[in-house]
Structure formats: C-alpha cells, structure tokens
C-alpha cells in the first residue's frame, strides 16, 4: 500500500512530527511507500532543499532499519525560473521526486498561488518545459473563501470559510487552465471533498472538448472526508477536526464513499498532517493525522464488501501506474493501535460514525 499524500513536518516543525516518527508509523500501518508534500519549513522548492530532504529521510529509514519508499513532491511557486528548477529536479531525481505540487489557494505553509492568471502561468510554463508527470493541486478558490465566517467558539464555522463552491470552482478553473495551456501531464485533484467536484472531473472531456489528448485528470479521497462530517466539530475537541478542505455536512461524506466504491475516485490518500495540541487549540491550525487510521479505513472497506482487487487498485496499483513508479507490494499486515502515537485521535469518532 502507498499513501501518496502525507505531511511529515520535521526540520523547523519537528515538534509536530519528525520524518523518523512519521515513516515509522507509516511502516507499522502496513505501507510500502509514502509521497511527501513540499510545504515543509523550509519548503521543498529548490534542488538543494529537496536533496537535503532526501538525505534526512534516508537517515531516518536507515536508523529505523525498515524498508519503505519515501518520495516527495517539488513545490511550485509562480516564478518561471523556480518552476524550471522543480521540473529539472523531477527529471533528475525521479522517482524520489514523484511529481509537482501547486497550492491553488492558501493552506498550511503559505505556498498558495491564488491568482488565476498566475495559475495559468504555471500551466503554460509546465507545458513549455514538456512536463508530463503528475501535478498535484490543492483546489480551493480564494475568491470564494470567507475568512470572516470563522468563529473558534463554533469550530464547524470553518466549513463556511471554505465552502464546497470554493473547491468546485477551483477544480473547474484547473481543468480549464490546464487545457488552455495544452498541459500534457496528469492534473491530480488532492483530497477531493465534494461529489460535485468528482462529477465535474469525470465529465472533464465533455466539458472541455479542447482538452489535449495528453491531459489526464485524477482525484484522491481521504478517510476523513469519507467518514467524518462537520457536525462532529461541534462536539468536545471539535477544533482538532479542523482541516482543509473542511469536513462537509451530511450526506456528503456518504456520497464520497459511494463514489469511491463506484470507481469514480482514483486512489486513497490520507493527507496526514499532524500538529501539536497547542497548535490546534490556540493557533487553530488545519490538518489531522491520517496515517494511524489508514489500516482501519482499509479494513472497513474490505469488511463492507469491497473486492480485494479494487482495494489493491485504490491503495497501490493505480498510484504506481499513474506516477510511473514500481514499488513492490509487500502485503504486510498492519498494527492498528497506532493512534496512541499521536496527541489526539480524531478517528475514534469515525469508528462510531462508520457505516
């Protein structure tokens, strides 16, 4: 199994988690590989930072004495010279550099490229450089966010600050901009959270007939967007469930789970994003630790009738195929008490809410 979307912190955020800890938890969760996001501190936007990250990760894996694949995304800014450096790093260091990441809207780490003209510039630059790999995009349109709606006393208000429409509009923008630029890679919509976004992607070719034949679109679903709903944020410790994109109201999580079962979603990704309890409750940080819950989610899918072949596709083979990376599938069994490794376990609620 591979988790193609994790944030393992370390470096200047070692208080949240270290590579050694995150990779150890991933291994014990039964994973054969993880792909790490670039909004580290400092961020993975230069060749030097990427090489240093690979070195830190290798040291961690060696010290643990385990076998797990660590890949990472190079982060994109709206500066063409930096984009060129990221693409060169991908060409040179693939498969350790698995692809590129763009934050089309601000999230943790201030890597947001909110302006549509700048997003268009990114796609044009990637097309001109002949980039054919995966571009993972955080899709939430800043123009449709409503920061004023946030009230820490009512954590579920987070859902109104980043409404479903912000995701749907951003997905629409990305497909349009990628097609207009003749982008020839894979446009991957990270942690998709609404059925409307999924349906928009699936109708991509009908809606964008000018899309070049090389353009591919994929999307990934997190366990939290499939199992947890916004109302849980009104319970005790609701701030711990603050995440971007936000948990959605019922019945959206169940509809996302149905789309996963129907084959409309390409793979499962946890968006594992640990913080300290203080970061969550005093600074209202967004992100929840997903890795410890991964084996429970897979077990739930299996026990509720998902075929083994489908599970292997969603947790491993679709990912290898799309990224063009061969990672051996060990089929190791997972330890399930991993949540104890973290300061809080948002998914005990999921266990109650699970169908």
**Smallest distance, Å, CB 39 to Zn ion?**
8
Residues 157-186 that bind Zn ion (CB under 5 A): none
Residue closer to Zn ion (CB basis): 74 or 181: 74
Residues 253-312 that bind Zn ion (CB under 5 A): 271
Count of Cβ atoms closer than 10 Å to residue 38 Cβ? 25
Residue closer to Zn ion (CB basis): 181 or 197: 197
Distance (Å, whole) CA 143 – CA 4: 28
Count of Cβ atoms closer than 10 Å to residue 331 Cβ? 10
DSSP string, 24-48: HHHHHTT-SEEEE-S--SS-S-SHH
Q: Assign 3-class secondary structure to 79-131.
A: CHHHHHHHHHHHHHHCCCEEEEEEEECCCCCCCECCCHHHHHHHHHHHHHCCC
**Smallest distance, Å, CB 103 to Zn ion?**
9
Residue closer to Zn ion (CB basis): 127 or 294: 294
N-term to C-term CA, the chain: 23
Q: Give the CB-nearest residue to Zn ion.
A: 271
HSE-CB at 153 with a 13 A cutoff on CA atoms is 0
**Smallest distance, Å, CB 117 to Zn ion?**
24
**Smallest distance, Å, CB 108 to Zn ion?**
8
DSSP string, 44-83: S-SHHHHHHHHHHHHHHHHHHT---EEEEEEE--S-HHHH
Residues 197-216 that bind Zn ion (CB under 5 A): none
Residue closer to Zn ion (CB basis): 60 or 190: 190
Count residues contacting Zn ion (CB under 5 A)? 1
Q: Is residue 227 within 8 Å of 350, Cβ to Cβ?
A: yes
The two structure tokens encoding residue 184: 């020839």
Q: What's the angle, vertex CA 35, arms to CA 34 and CA 37, rounded to 5?
A: 130
Residue closer to Zn ion (CB basis): 201 or 288: 288
**Smallest distance, Å, CB 271 to Zn ion?**
4
Residue where the block lists tokens 């040179």: 92
Residue closer to Zn ion (CB basis): 271 or 341: 271
Distance (Å, whole) CA 30 – CA 199: 31
**Smallest distance, Å, CB 223 to Zn ion?**
13
**Smallest distance, Å, CB 23 to Zn ion?**
17
**Smallest distance, Å, CB 212 to Zn ion?**
28
Residue closer to Zn ion (CB basis): 37 or 298: 37
Alpha-carbon torsion angle 92, 94, 97, 101, nearest 10? 90
Residue closer to Zn ion (CB basis): 176 or 188: 188
Answer yes or no whether residue 17 interacts with Zn ion by CB under 5 A.
Answer: no
Mark 62-91 with x for binding to Zn ion (rule: CB under 5 A) and - for no binding: ------------------------------
Contact residues toward Zn ion (CB under 5 A) are: 271
């Amino acid at each position: 199994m591979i988790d193609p979307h994790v944030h393992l912190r370390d470096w200047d955020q070692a208080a949240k988690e270290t590579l050694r800890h995150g990779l150890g938890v991933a291994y014990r969760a039964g994973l054969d590989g993880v792909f790490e996001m670039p909004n580290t501190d400092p961020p993975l936007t230069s060749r030097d930072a990427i090489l240093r990250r690979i070195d830190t990760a290798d040291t961690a894996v060696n010290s643990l004495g385990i076998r797990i694949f660590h890949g990472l995304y190079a982060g994109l800014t709206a500066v063409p010279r930096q984009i060129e450096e990221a693409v060169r790093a991908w060409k040179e260091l693939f498969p350790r550099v698995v692809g590129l990441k763009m934050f089309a809207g601000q999230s943790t780490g201030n890597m947001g490229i909110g302006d549509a003209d700048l997003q268009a510039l990114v796609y044009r630059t990637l097309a001109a450089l002949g980039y054919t790999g995966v571009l993972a995009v955080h899709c939430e349109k800043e123009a449709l966010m409503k920061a004023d709606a946030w009230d820490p006393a009512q954590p579920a208000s987070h859902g109104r600050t980043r409404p479903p429409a912000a995701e749907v509009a951003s997905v629409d923008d990305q497909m349009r901009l990628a097609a207009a630029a003749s982008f020839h890679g894979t446009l991957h919509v990270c942690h998709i959270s609404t059925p409307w976004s999924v349906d928009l992607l699936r109708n991509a070719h009908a809606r964008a007939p000018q899309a070049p034949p090389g353009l591919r679109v994929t999307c990934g679903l997190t366990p939290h967007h499939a199992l947890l709903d916004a109302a849980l944020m009104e319970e005790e410790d609701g701030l711990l469930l603050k995440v971007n994109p936000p948990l959605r109201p019922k019945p959206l999580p169940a509809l996302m789970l149905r789309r996963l079962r129907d084959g409309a979603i390409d793979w499962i990704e946890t968006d594992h994003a640990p913080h300290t309890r203080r970061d969550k409750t005093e600074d209202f940080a967004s992100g929840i630790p997903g890795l410890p819950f991964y084996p429970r989610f897979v077990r739930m899918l299996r026990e509720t009738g998902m075929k083994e072949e489908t599970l292997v596709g969603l947790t491993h083979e679709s990912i290898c195929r799309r990224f063009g990376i061969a990672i051996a599938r060990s089929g190791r069994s997972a330890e399930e008490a991993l949540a104890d490794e973290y300061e809080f376990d948002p998914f005990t609620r999921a266990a109650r809410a699970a169908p």
